[in-house]
Chains A and B, each alone.
Chain A
Amino acid sequence: MKSFGTELKKHAEKTRLKASERAELRARILTYMEYHPLPKKTAGVQTKPVYQLAYSFSIFQQFGVRIAASAFAILFVVVGVPMAAERAVPGDILYPVKTQITEGVRAQFVNSPYERIAFETELMERRIAEARLLEKEGKLSDEIEAQIAETVRGHATAAWEGIAELNVTDAEEGAIAKITFGTVLDVQSAIIKGEGGGEEGKGIAGAVSSARASVAADSSTTTPSYARLSARVEQHTTRAYELLSSVESSATAAERTNIERRLADIERKIVAAQVAHEEESEEDVTLLSGALADIQKLISFMTDIDVRANVSIEDLVPVVLTPEERIETLEQQLNEYRIETEGGIEDMSTGSTTVAVDIELGIEVVDGEEEVSASSTDTVVEGKDSFMTTLQSYIEKAKTLLTEGKVKESENVIGEAETFVAMPIEDSSEETEGVEEDVAEEKEAN
């Protein structure tokens, strides 16, 4: 009688891989080996993808993989390689597949000059993102960064040349492309700054800043037409709303509020541009250009993880206060002044400040040096009162205009009120000192 061990082993041996399972498993492992080859001793020399494939086929032949496995491998080469290559970074074996094959094929499908600029801009962004990835992994040597910076410069130049070409054939489209390109550079520059920035003028940071400089230095005065700009803004706004609804479930309440607020600000800018356009004001295009840049930045914020990681939404697209909010701020300031005045006049500044305030208000200065030099409490109260009265009247005027639907006029009044409130204290103290000196001099003269 056979031992238990032998019997059990014999029985267990019936459990084995089927021929098809075995072939498939072997094909999976061979594919894995193909895409994770042994490191080459000749560092720095990137293996050509063609060689890589030939090499893998030699393994296939050597071990006689069946037709099913070959079909699997071919499918993998056609679909899997470009997909896998998309994640490659400089130095990876598949990187040339990404830059030369995948992107090369995509380049063939770029038709219009505008698309070409967008494509070059995208490539520039991709190269910067790759550098960022390498840096995170601690693999970004100075040499690699210099190489990437050179490529970034190349794409930036190509994009910029595309814009110049477009300017000749279609100046308006060229102007829109310039706004788009400028925004991308702004965003990239903000990320670099957010990361602690590279060395000024060097590496990728240098490449980005020199591209920004050429955009800023461009003297072409063509502005896009309102209609075209409007169409582009519409297109991007729709995309932004789609993106927002797609991240609805994953974004936090605060993130959603932040994005919705920016979208509302942009919508207001668009409305303001429409009003300006109806009034035939030239501001319409400026306002829309601003809205286009904002919406693009917002889209980058929603779609690019690097942007979110390094730049706050407020830095990228600052909140634009509504007239109502601005009035509210002014009212708060007015209240603060009121509390200060009622709370303790003794603590308040001297009479000379009152004079300064009155001078700035353009209100008739309290008459006579005696009043001033007396520094009487009454004068302080009087000066504060005038300040508050003026601010109050500004606020009321702005509110009335707003109720009448005269938003622009209301905003002008708010602007004046803000300037009035923001009168720098240093200035007033200078003037105060001046007044004090004058008073002293006059006293001496007497």
Chain B
Amino acid sequence: MAEHESKAKEGDQEERFLKAFEEYSDALFRHATYRLSDRERAIDLVHDTFTKVWNYTRSGHTIETYRPFLYKILNNLIIDEYRKRKDVSLDSLLEEEGTHEGSFDELSEGSLEELTFALDAQKAAVLVAEIPDVYREVIVLRFIDGLGPKEIGDLIEKSENVVSVRIHRGIKMLRDLIEAQEEKAQTRRLPYKK
């Protein structure tokens, strides 16, 4: 009898795990692709995320909610991936944040709606790869994965305030990049204007 129950439980765990795969593999892949700008590597990391989660289940743990757990693992793997890439130093990226990232001043400069007003999403989606990963991380989580600031805070182990500041700065950077790009394009067109 006990064996039947245990088998049923096992079956249940497998089913839930595979359901999570069906449900989140695309979103995780998207997240990884935006963070790494490398499609193949993104697939590998999604694979590693699921195998890690499966191993966690094998060690006797039960996962109540898959989504935050999957994102957490994938995020850790992405950070590891950055560490492996010699040309990008994570420390230097972290240094860029400075020490005053909890400041409310930046938040009071304008709401997110104001900040993102008339911002070209299509261009932003491309240029998001250009901004430092600390900002890219939150922008992708917020706008592409659709996570709330609290969820993001839990995931990256930062306060909601830090998350909001990072989103603001990230958006500003995107805006600056878009503007710079537009200016450049305009300058290029100028010589032909009479």
Contact = CB atoms under 8 A, between A and B. Distances in A.
Interface residues of B, number: 37
B117 interface: yes
A136 interface: no
Contact of B121 (A4, A33, A41): A4
Contacts of B117: 4
Interface stretch (A22-30, A261-269, A387-395): A22-30
Contacts, number: 83
B46 A25 contact: yes
A29 B21 contact: yes
Given A5-B142, A8-B143, A32-B51, A42 B3 contact: yes
A4 B124 contact: yes
A16 B113 CA distance: 27
B18 interface: yes
B30 A12 contact: yes
A39 interface: yes
A59 B121 contact: no
A12 B34 CA distance: 9
B124 A15 contact: no
Among A25, A29, A33, A36, the one with the most B-chain Cβ atoms within 10 Å of its Cβ is A29
Given A29-B21, A38-B13, A4 B51 contact: no
Contact of A39 (B2, B17, B58, B122): B58
A124 B100 CA distance: 66
Contacts of B124: 4, 8
Most buried by B among A21, A25, A38: A38
A26 B30 CA distance: 16
Chain B binding surface SS class = helix
Contacts of B154: none
Contacts of B116: 3-5
Contact of A8 (B17, B50, B125): B125
Contact of B113 (A3, A10, A13, A42): A3
B58 A36 contact: yes
A109 interface: no
Contacts of A42: 3
Contacts of A29: 21, 47, 50-51, 54
Given A29-B54, A36-B54, A38-B58, A11 B3 contact: no
B11 to A, nearest CB: 9
B135 interface: no
Interface string B24-65: 011001100110000000010011001100110110100000
Contact of A32 (B29, B33, B54): B54
B10 A38 contact: yes
Interface string B108-130: 00000100110101101100000
A22 B29 CA distance: 10
B18 A17 contact: no
A371 interface: no
A41 B34 contact: no
Given A4-B124, A8-B144, A29-B21, A15 B54 contact: no
Given A3-B116, A4-B119, A4-B124, A16 B57 contact: no
A280 to B, nearest CB: 69
B66 to A, nearest CB: 14
Given A4-B117, A38-B57, A12 B51 contact: no
Nearest to B53: A29
B182 interface: no
Contact of A21 (B3, B21, B43, B51): B43
A42 B30 CA distance: 41
B39 to A, nearest CB: 9
B119 to A, nearest CB: 5
B183 interface: no
Contacts of A13: 30
Nearest to B28: A17
A106 interface: no
B146 interface: yes
Given A29-B50, A29-B51, A15 B34 contact: yes
B54 A17 contact: no
A33 B46 contact: no
Given A7-B122, A8-B125, A13-B30, A38 B25 contact: no
Contacts of B3: 41-42
Given A5-B143, A7-B122, A41 B6 contact: yes
A188 to B, nearest CB: 35
A232 B43 CA distance: 53
Contacts of A4: 116-117, 119, 121, 124, 143
Nearest to A16: B26
B18 A16 contact: no
A219 B146 CA distance: 83
B14 interface: yes
Contacts of B6: 41
Query: Which 5 interchain pairs have the tightest Cβ spacing?
Result: A7-B121, A4-B116, A8-B121, A12-B144, A8-B143
11 contacts: A5-B116, A7-B121, A8-B143, A11-B125, A15-B34, A17-B29, A25-B47, A33-B54, A41-B6, A42-B3, A59-B18
Given A17-B25, A41-B2, 5 more contacts: A4-B124, A8-B125, A15-B33, A29-B47, A38-B13
Interface of B: 2-3, 6, 10, 13-14, 17-18, 21, 25-26, 29-30, 33-34, 43, 46-47, 50-51, 54-55, 57-58, 60, 113, 116-117, 119, 121-122, 124-125, 142-144, 146
